[in-house]
Amino acid sequence: VAATKMNGEGVRAVPLAGHVGFDSMPDQLVNKSVNRGFCFNILCVGETGLGKSTLMDTLFNTKFEGEPTQHNQPGVTLKSNTYELQESNVRLKLTVVNTVGFGDQINKEDSYKSIVEFIDAQFEAYLQEELKIKRTLHSYHDTRIHACLYFIAPTGHSLKSLDLVTMKKLDSKVNIIPIVAKSDAISKSELAKFKIKITSELVSNGVQIYQFPTDDESVAEINSTMNVRPTFPPHFLHFHL
């Protein structure tokens, strides 16, 4: 690239740092995203003792801080922790939101309300940031939930009423990925029947769960299989995400 002065006295050369063209735009976007880092927010919903914290440690190969929750919580509260992770040159700001005391109360009618209010509050906070005259979305910590891992107790029978009601309240607000917790507690044949039973109940109750994308040929086959069998053991979760 060269620029000629108006008086024709000479030519000023402008050196380039690399190739310029439409074909280089994807690489530029990837480099920009990697330099900026990524943000991922996970909501873990499930009864106390189903292994939510253990699964998070396994997924990200990290020992997250936290102590076991007791079963004597008066109500459902949401605990949010943010961590800065890095693998190679990729940085990830991970936020894990845990539902403390979920399912521990005798009266569970309002157990889902705290979760719904929390999700709505994150949407409202982002909207208020967008409505500002001087927005700083490039540096704003987006706390909106990207995925909800819903832990189902391995009863081998049917879904609990609490699970159906909660998932029905959340499916329009967040991507729900149901997980059979501690699936090694039941046999493989019982687990297969349990998965079929869960899928049937979700469909009959109109609960919409996350559908894995199939537009990418490299993952289309395995994601199509996951969409047919939406629930799976936690020790297979890291393999499919």
Does residue 150 sit within a domain?
A: yes
Does residue 227 sit within a domain?
A: no
Does residue 162 sit within a domain?
A: yes
* Number of compact structural domains in the chain: 1
Does residue 161 sit within a domain?
A: yes
How far is the C-alpha of 117 from the C-alpha of 173, rounded, in Å? 11
Does residue 87 sit within a domain?
A: yes
Does residue 221 sit within a domain?
A: no
Does residue 222 sit within a domain?
A: no
How far is the C-alpha of 120 from the C-alpha of 220, rounded, in Å? 32
CATH code of residue 83: 3.40.50.300
Enumerate residues 6+ apart whose C-beta is below 8 A from 6. Answer: none
**Contact 152/102 with Cβ under 8 angstroms?**
no
- What is the pTM for the complete model shown? 0.79
In tens digits, what is the pLDDT along the chain, a chain of 241 residues? 444 444 455 677 777 777 777 677 777 777 777 777 888 999 999 988 888 888 998 888 888 877 777 777 778 889 999 998 888 888 889 999 999 989 888 888 889 999 999 999 999 998 998 888 887 777 788 899 999 999 999 888 888 999 999 999 999 999 999 999 988 888 888 888 998 899 899 999 999 988 888 887 877 788 777 776 554 444 434 333 3
The whole domain housing 189 covers 40-210
The C-alpha angle with vertex 103 and arms to 99 and 107, in degrees rounded to 5, equals: 125
Q: How many CB atoms lie within 10 A of CB 99?
A: 27
